[in-house]
Amino acid sequence: MRPFSYPFPLAAAFLVLILAAASPLHRSHLMAIDGPLSSISGWNPLRLLQRQTDVPWQEKRQTVNCTDESAAFNSVCWQQLQLSNFLLGGGEWGVGWNKSTRVCDTQSTDVNDNDGTNCCLPGEAWTTCFLRLAQGGGTQDCSQINAQFCSMPSENALSAGLAESIRPEVQYIQKNIYALNDFFTTYYNALTAAQSDASTTIQGLINEVDPIKPTSFDLITLLTALSVGLAFLGAPSIAVTVLGLSSIAKSAAQVLTISLQQAPSTAKALWPTGTQNSQSVQIGDLEAELGNSTNQLADMINNAVQLLMSDMPTFVKFVESGQYSGAESLSLPSKVQGLDYALRTYMTSEAFAQNGWVSTPSIGPYETAQDVENGVIGGGGGDCTMGNNSVCTDGQGSAIFWSQPTGRVYNFANTKSGWGGVSAYQLLQDTVGNNWAILQVLFDGSFNCTQEGNFGDSIVNFNWDGTLDIACISQLPTKVDCGDPCPVALINNECPFPPLNNDCDS
């Protein structure tokens, strides 16, 4: 059993008891009062968090010893050490670090009361304060993506004066701060590489789908589609279709998806909804415009980092799955296969939409290719023999895509009068062959987006519980034939799917 010690004076211990008994409002008030705390020599707020002596350590050890500072980091230790309570309060930790840590009185003439040695500076990110107090000094700032000012020390670098009874907790929280900053920094670096890949790959699409280049994009929307790439890969229905995704990227995508579900405010900081002023980008100028937008991309990522590093409850929710506490690194390589698929999917679907391409769903379920061949126009299967990528042609200028996971069938056709470009069948085959987009995401994504009543709004939306919804990455219009029943439940007594033709009533 680890020995329990009292490394701070009884006056400080007495204050902890008062704070623990106070209501949250009273605690905040108490922390703002100049009291005997300011006169305690060498006082460190981290020392105020002491365990109750009647909690048996053996209950928490089991097969992993989270209190051994020399042991490898382990993902179970966030829960075992009750680090959420350590920071926010609750359980055996009393009021928590956020309430027991005083804000410096910058008007005081006592240097120990205003220099940040024993307190957090006004307006300072809590993570910056935490690292300084944990390490007994330093200027580590992890509130922006910049490894130069936020890098895990080669050794723990914990202050020698830090109470033995809380060193493991402090070490793990410190590790999570560094791991988060490193994750988002490498995420940004990988996105800038994906920027270049996407802009050059799309040139073939421009030549085939949009030869006269009328298509234009909103730059912020493009950057949103790019930056959502890792969460996009973390969606189960998408990740299984991406070949060659590295194990590190798979882990990072899954961890990010879980974290965003736990802390949806982080997703909203990364991808705010609503209208924003942004320049319009011609499809022919994509490569140059994307290459010049790295600063804007950095600002988007920094919005999330700054929220995490300044808002402790959000940080706790984001990391409490424990994955950032583990020994495995979540640092992304400079190039991540598939990271730009969300961007490609958006650009492909938007280019399709602006050039007259439309999807019309037929709800099955169609469980086999034979079901599809027997169920489409020209019954008996004579006009539809399933080809590559679950696509066939009906012989009437359109093509049919079968989404095996959902059992839906979509008719893909061009509605522009006199369209003389590539055939629908060939266009879908080229889309897959050139990695412009994932067909399942193009069609099912658009269907789901329209069903939810979000089509035409932001390409990133949030579900009722705050979780991320990326169905609208696909902007391929999905409509229903005149006279066909609505394929989903009505919204406000109206079908969310518009009619294929505007003159259905004539």
For residues 84 and 353, give the distance between their C-alpha atoms in angstroms, rounded to a whole number: 47
Over 80: is that where the pLDDT of 225 sits?
A: yes
* pLDDT band for position 301 (cuts 50, 70, 90): very high
The structural domains of the chain, with segments of one domain joined by +, span 341-473
Please tell me the predicted confidence (pLDDT) of residue 33: 26
For residues 71 and 64, give the distance between their C-alpha atoms in angstroms, rounded to a whole number: 9
For residues 71 and 59, give the distance between their C-alpha atoms in angstroms, rounded to a whole number: 18
DSSP string, 227-291: HTHHHHHHSHHHHTT-TT--HHHHHHHHHHHHHHHH-HHHHHHHS--S-----EEEGGGHHHHHH
Q: Which of 28-42, 153-167, 316-330 shows the lowest mean pLDDT across its residues?
A: 28-42
Locus of tokens 């305690």: 40
Nearest 5°: phi and psi at 27? -60, -45
For residues 394 and 246, give the distance between their C-alpha atoms in angstroms, rounded to a whole number: 38
Using alpha carbons only, how large is the chain's radius of gyration in Å? 28
For residues 78 and 390, give the distance between their C-alpha atoms in angstroms, rounded to a whole number: 45
Please tell me the predicted confidence (pLDDT) of residue 481: 85
Q: 290 vs 191, 343, 486, CA distance in Å?
A: 11, 11, 39
Q: pLDDT by residue (tens digit) across 399-442? A: 899 888 888 899 998 888 766 678 889 899 999 988 888 898 89
**Structural element, H or E, at residue 121:** none
Q: pLDDT by residue (tens digit) across 333-387? A: 888 888 888 888 898 898 899 888 999 998 777 888 888 877 765 444 446 777 7
Greater model confidence, 34 or 273: 273
Please tell me the predicted confidence (pLDDT) of residue 460: 87
Q: pLDDT by residue (tens digit) across 104-148? A: 877 776 666 666 678 888 889 999 999 999 988 877 889 999 867
Q: Coil, strand, or helix at residue 411?
A: strand
User: 505: alpha, beta or left, given left = phi > 0 and alpha = psi -120 to 50?
Assistant: alpha
pTM over 0.85: no
Q: Which whole number is the average pLDDT over 59-63?
A: 48
Over 90: is that where the pLDDT of 27 sits?
A: no
For residues 391 and 402, give the distance between their C-alpha atoms in angstroms, rounded to a whole number: 6
Please tell me the predicted confidence (pLDDT) of residue 112: 62
Q: pLDDT by residue (tens digit) across 473-490? A: 999 999 998 878 888 888
Q: What is the mean pLDDT of the chain?
A: 77
Please tell me the predicted confidence (pLDDT) of residue 9: 32
Over 70: is that where the pLDDT of 285 sits?
A: yes
